[in-house]
Amino acid sequence: MKAVVVKAFKDAPELIESLKPEIKPGHILIKLKAAGLNPTDWRIADGMLDGKMAHVFPLILGVDGAGVVEEVGADVSRFKVGDKVYGQMLHAPVGEGTYAEYIVVPEKVILTKMPPGLSFEQAAAFPVAGMTAFQLIKDLGLGRDQTVLIVGATGGVGTFATVFAHLNGLEVLATARGEDAENSIKKAGASTTFDYSKGDLAQQVKDAYPEGVDALIDLASNPEAFEKMITVVKPGGIAFTTIFSADAEKLKAKNIRGGNFEVKGSIALLEGVSEMIEAGDIEIPIQKISLAEAPQAIAKSKTGKALGKTVIII
């Protein structure tokens, strides 16, 4: 089978011919139809989980995927042959990933049946980014018509957060650079956009919303920039950063809740995302690429300039 791998930590990804994995007890064999590209993928390739989980090389990249169950091992009860499934398929050993034509995973991984009517490419876009965004919006605890500013809004997590916030009746303010990014994030549900390349972002927000915003989701700012961004949040408001830029004491001094955010994925959380997808008729802007184009797309993801969600069609 074809697969995108790295042969050692920090190596450049490449497309190779690999052996089709064999079924094991308690596992399922999935013929993959699509895989979602996430920043997590290149971070794993660079050694993010080295020393924390066992790895195998060549390391097949990818944690998000969607496909059809082709074979089930002994003692499997959750799935049957022919089921359309999607999920976050990271498991030990790291390196049996979704950037491939087939994958064998334990049935206990974060995997569930696809919502009816959802395409494989849409399903592959959801797991990591969708669960992160879903939990972020839930943890804000905001009511209808309250305001949330999303910094780094036009990437995968930001786009999902915009969609889910809009579905929950929130007013979404989003950062977007350029006309394409602005149109994309407004289609996802943002009512107002700010171009960070056109001057001080915090000041732009203060000029438009002098009373402040109720919440901040920051997916992009370093600690110094995040400290500046929290000045736009109302006292008693809430601010999250997904890249660990928050200083708890500085938030407390400004009477702002929140802090550093890390999602704990679970089957229940993914099923919650599935329910929202079905209820909201969600369409996410997707850039479709082939397995052969994945190495180049990973390099672009590293720059932080990818727009929307990239999905590999297999």
For the chain, what percent of residues have pLDDT higher than 90? Answer: 88
Is it the case that residue 284 has pLDDT exceeding 90? no
Is it the case that residue 67 has pLDDT exceeding 90? yes
Report how far residue 304's alpha carbon sits from residue 141's, in angstroms, rounded to the nearest whole number.
28
128-260 topology per CATH: Rossmann fold (3.40.50)
Averaged pLDDT, 218-242 = 97
Quote the pLDDT of residue 275.
Answer: 86
Quote the pLDDT of residue 302.
Answer: 81
Q: What is the residue type of 296?
A: Q
Is it the case that residue 91 has pLDDT exceeding 90? yes
Report how far residue 226's alpha carbon sits from residue 210's, in angstroms, rounded to the nearest whole number.
18
Confidence of residue 36 (pLDDT cuts 50, 70, 90): very high
Confidence of residue 277 (pLDDT cuts 50, 70, 90): confident
Q: What is the residue type of 41?
A: D
Confidence of residue 307 (pLDDT cuts 50, 70, 90): low
CB atoms within 10 A of CB 8: 10
Quote the pLDDT of residue 44.
Answer: 95
pLDDT digits (tens, 9 = 90+) for 287-301: 999 999 999 999 888
**Among the listed ranges 63-72, 91-100, 185-194, 283-292, which one has the minimum average pLDDT value?**
283-292
Task: Give residue limits of the domains in the chain.
Answer: 2-125+284-313, 128-260
Do 190 and 163 form a contact (C-beta atoms < 8 A)? no
- The pTM of the whole model exceeds 0.85: yes
Quote the pLDDT of residue 127.
Answer: 95
pLDDT digits (tens, 9 = 90+) for 189-228: 999 999 999 999 999 999 999 999 999 999 999 999 999 9
258 exposure class (CB count in 10 Å sphere: 0-12, 13-18, 19+): buried
Mean pLDDT of the chain: 95
Averaged pLDDT, 83-97 = 97
* Second CATH level (architecture) for the domain 2-125+284-313: Alpha-Beta Complex (3.90)
